A and B are shown apart, each in its own frame.
Chain A
Amino acid sequence: DGGITQSPKYLFRKEGQNVTLSCEQNLNHDAMYWYRQDPGQGLRLIYYSQIVNDFQKGDIAEGYSVSREKKESFPLTVTSAQKNPTAFYLCASSPTQGHYSNQPQHFGDGTRLSIL
């Protein structure tokens, strides 16, 4: 079945440590996104990529980094510079690229990151 796979489901980070969250999709979608979800807040966009080898900062990119070396993969690294990383992280993809695409985004089942 086609879909978006995020791993791991749970992740724990020590102080000063970088951690990487995986996101893989087999939907052949061009665009991919990373969101952060905190209790009582809407999903907030961290980074997005509309095409391989290109990505843009979202609204809360500080302390995070991404890469897009393959169409299927869009890993997110939470760096030690992110002082409040505890959250539920969601990866999404959408089927068309371009500035005015209007297809819905489809989501993975998230990674919950906590601080040890």
Chain B
Amino acid sequence: EDQVTQSPEALRLQEGESSSLNCSYTVSGLRGLFWYRQDPGKGPEFLFTLYSAGEEKEKERLKATLTKKESFLHITAPKPEDSATYLCAVRILTGGGNKLTFGTGTQLKVEL
């Protein structure tokens, strides 16, 4: 069964304290890994897509990397406005088109 596991479930950081979130997956036929940010009461906001091992993407204080078994979302010198739940999702090869399997998310809290 295809699975996506995110860790930790929750993370508290001080402003400026860099860290990483993990997304591990056990799927066959990976066709893309997606990172989203979700604020309370809102829909997920797209951040990155990674397609192949070794690929990296950056946006402001966020950097996403991908290996054959997992992806990391590195947060450098976070600010309180980075507080949110971060979701990862994988797309696998099926006949059903663009279907995603989501992890349960990491809830990040950045404190002053």
Tell me how many residue pairs across A and B have CB atoms closer than 8 Å: 71
Residues of B within 8 A of A92 (CB): 43
The count of chain B contact residues (Cβ–Cβ below 8 Å) is 29
Residues of B within 8 A of A42 (CB): 4, 87, 89, 101-105
The count of chain A contact residues (Cβ–Cβ below 8 Å) is 32
Contact with A along B43-70 (1 / 0, CB 8 A): 1111001010000000000000000000
CA–CA, A48 to B91, complex, Å?
A: 14
Residues of A within 8 A of B87 (CB): 42-43
Contact with A along B89-106 (1 / 0, CB 8 A): 101011111111111110
Name the contact of A109 in the complex, choosing from B4, B43, B46, B100 (C-beta under 8 A): B43
Name the contact of A103 in the complex, choosing from B41, B42, B98, B104 (C-beta under 8 A): B98
Residues of A within 8 A of B79 (CB): none
Contact with B along A79-116 (1 / 0, CB 8 A): 00000000000101010111111111111111010000
